[in-house]
Amino acid sequence: MSSSESSPINIWGAGTARTLRPIWVAEELGLEYELMPIAPRSGETKTAQFTDVNRKQKIPFLVDGAAKLSESVAICRYLLDAYQGGDIFRPVDLIGRAKQDEWCCYVYGEIDESGLYVMRRHRDLAQIYGDAPEAVSSSADYVRRHFDVVSAHLQDNEYLMPEGFSLADLLLMTCLDWAHAYGIELSPSLLAFRENVSHRPALKRAKKINYTVEI
């Protein structure tokens, strides 16, 4: 990460799989940015200073000139569209963009939001949302079911998009790390994918930056 007085890019949030995503993209693109490593549920997102820029009081959050964005997928897509460079495939044709959107929506909607985050709510955050072992167990099964779909695709493909590493793969990688931390067993093709992507230098830098704050 680097920052300078001339850099308009500010990223709020650190410590979670979701905050890792925009940091990782910024590192892949070699962008200059300033990170404010505030953590979720630490009280920092509810300060007047942060609420002034983001009334949702959620992280990650990005300000880049006139662009003010929350939601990790939207932030990542914006950075990839706004800035050149980096070894990340960006589809430009209609069908290619639609296929990437399909994978991104699938990974985020089914695996992250409907599966892993439900586990987080009722396990890691049980003091807030309530302890619900059955919900955690059924959500883990839900994640495994959708990992089976991704796993089958990766048996014959290095990445989700045939042209190479893309935003969809970046989202998937963060979910695989998250699932691994929760003890969800990964198939051989998912393990091979995770091993391959883990060697990306930008990911190594982003993890070191992001996890200065505990999840």
Residue 6 in this model has a pLDDT that exceeds 70: no
Segment 183-190 shows an average pLDDT of 98
The pLDDT tens digits for 145-155 are: 999 999 999 99
The answer on pLDDT for 194 being more than 60 is: yes
pLDDT of amino acid 7: 57
Closest by CA to 71, choosing from 43, 26, 113, is 113
Secondary structure class of 2 (helix, strand, coil): strand
pLDDT exceeds 90 at position 4: no
pLDDT in tens, 60-71: 999 999 999 999
Question: Which helix (H) or strand (E) segment is 83 a member of?
Answer: none
Cα radius of gyration rounded to whole Å, the chain: 17
Amino acid at 50: F
Q: What is the structure's pLDDT at 41?
A: 82
pLDDT tens, position by position, 120-162: 999 999 999 999 999 999 999 999 999 999 999 999 999 999 9
Question: What secondary structure letter does DSSP report for 62?
Answer: E
With a cut of 90, say whether residue 215 has pLDDT above it.
Answer: no
Q: Per-residue pLDDT averaged across 77-98, rounded?
A: 96
Dihedral class, residue 200 (left if φ above 0, else alpha if ψ from -120 to 50, else beta): beta
pLDDT at 212: 80
Predicted pLDDT of residue 5: 47
Phi, psi of 120 (to 5 degrees): -60, -45
Q: Where are the alpha helices (DSSP H) in 12-132?
A: 17-29, 48-53, 72-82, 94-106, 117-122, 126-129
Nearest to 60 by CA among 32, 110, 23, 29: 23
Q: Any idea which residue has 């790390």 for tokens? A: 177
Predicted model pTM: 0.93
Residue 166 · residue 160 · CB < 8 Å: yes
Enumerate residues 6+ apart whose C-beta is below 8 A from 26.
1, 9, 11, 33, 79, 206
42 pLDDT tier (thresholds 50, 70, 90): confident
Tokens representing residue 55 in the block: 């009334």
